[in-house]
Amino acid sequence: MDVIVIHSLNSLLYASVLFLIAGGLSLIYGVMRIVNLAHGNLYAVGAYATAWTVGRVLGGGEPSLTLYLLLPVGAVAAAALGAIIEPTLLRPLYKRAEEYQLLITFGLLLILEDLLRFIWGPYPLSASSLFEALGSFSIGESVYPTYNLVVIVVGGIAAAALWAFIYKTKFGVILRATSQNMRMASALGVNVNRVYMQAFTLGCFMAGLGGAIIVPQQGAVLGMGVDALVPAFVVVVIGGLGSLEGALLGALMVGVVREFGIAFFPEVELAVLYFMAAVVLLIRPAGLFGRA
């Protein structure tokens, strides 16, 4: 029983981070029709920025509660980067074929990967003191780190906030209108360029937040962005490109399959995930919640 609880909590932990990455990816596709191959790298930027800031402020001392307020630094860093990338690199390409948009984000992936190496060096960064300071609690016979619950809660709050933002605010209405019909929105006086930039920045913010909240638990390493991208792809493919509900459901499905996969059939765990995505695409090309 304890084992099931722990696996379920781990599934939720992974799903929270995955939702933040995939949700941003899906949001960007939904509004801008761009599949951002560099999205995983923005998640890595969030992780590195937070780990570096926490390390700087902490020095050798004990973590205090205020230090946890520094977690969002990574999200802000990723958002700032997004706000620079969209107008400079992506905007010239909206009228060109999709192939070029994919290619430029692939180029961006290569650049960002080395930018992280350039700024923070080839060695992993860690913010594990934040993870350890919260201690652990017991589930039956086993112990479970309290910090993991923080990640799950933050993931849940982020999902709720995003839903409220998109469905309950004026900005959300404009965003959805632009997503449904860019020309019509533009004709009605929406500044499409600004909406695109805001959507891209928001998507990057979410990816950065994902990296920021997971870094105390896992640390920041080179290559984490590229590794995170494909599971995020699987999530949006299952849920439907452009659908946030889909991203949430997809993240939960992938979280559960991966966690129980690692526990019970570790050899084919990854293959099962990709296979799941392929099957969904074949049966419902637009994904479970997508519109074709």
Segment contacting other proteins by CB under 8 A, of 159-167, 177-185, 244-252, 261-269: 261-269
Candidate list 157, 193, 281, 291; residue touching other proteins; CB under 8 A: 281
Q: Is residue 44 within the footprint of other proteins (CB under 8 A)?
A: no
Candidate list 3, 5, 55, 107; residue touching other proteins; CB under 8 A: 107
Residue 250, burial from CB neighbour count under 10 angstroms (0-12, 13-18, 19+)? buried
Site map (CB under 8 A) of other proteins, residues 218-257, x = contact: --------x---x--xx--x---x----------------
Segment contacting other proteins by CB under 8 A, of 11-19, 59-67, 209-217, 274-282: 274-282
Candidate list 55, 135, 140, 285; residue touching other proteins; CB under 8 A: 285
C-alpha–C-alpha distance, residues 188 and 169, integer Å: 18
Q: Is residue 110 within the footprint of other proteins (CB under 8 A)?
A: yes
C-alpha–C-alpha distance, residues 110 and 121, integer Å: 16
Candidate list 2, 100, 143, 193; residue touching other proteins; CB under 8 A: 100
Residue 210, burial from CB neighbour count under 10 angstroms (0-12, 13-18, 19+)? buried
Residue with Cβ nearer other proteins (72 or 239): 239
Segment contacting other proteins by CB under 8 A, of 9-17, 49-57, 99-107, 202-210: 99-107
Q: Could you give the angle at the alpha carbon of 183 between the alpha carbons of 243 and 35, nearest 5°?
A: 40
CB atoms inside a 10 Å sphere around CB 164: 11
Q: Which residues contact 150 (CB under 8 A, 6 or more apart)?
A: 68, 134, 213
C-alpha–C-alpha distance, residues 13 and 217, integer Å: 11
Q: Is residue 123 within the footprint of other proteins (CB under 8 A)?
A: no
Nearest distance, CB of residue 112 and other proteins, angstroms:
8
Candidate list 64, 84, 92, 136; residue touching other proteins; CB under 8 A: 92
C-alpha–C-alpha distance, residues 136 and 105, integer Å: 40
**DSSP H helical segments within the chain, as ranges?**
2-32, 39-58, 73-85, 98-120, 128-133, 146-168, 170-180, 182-187, 192-218, 224-239, 244-264, 269-283
Q: Is residue 213 within the footprint of other proteins (CB under 8 A)?
A: no
Binding stretches for other proteins (CB under 8 A) = 35, 37, 89, 92-93, 96, 98-100, 102-104, 106-115, 117-118, 122, 226, 230, 233-234, 237, 241, 266-271, 273-275, 277-278, 281-282, 285
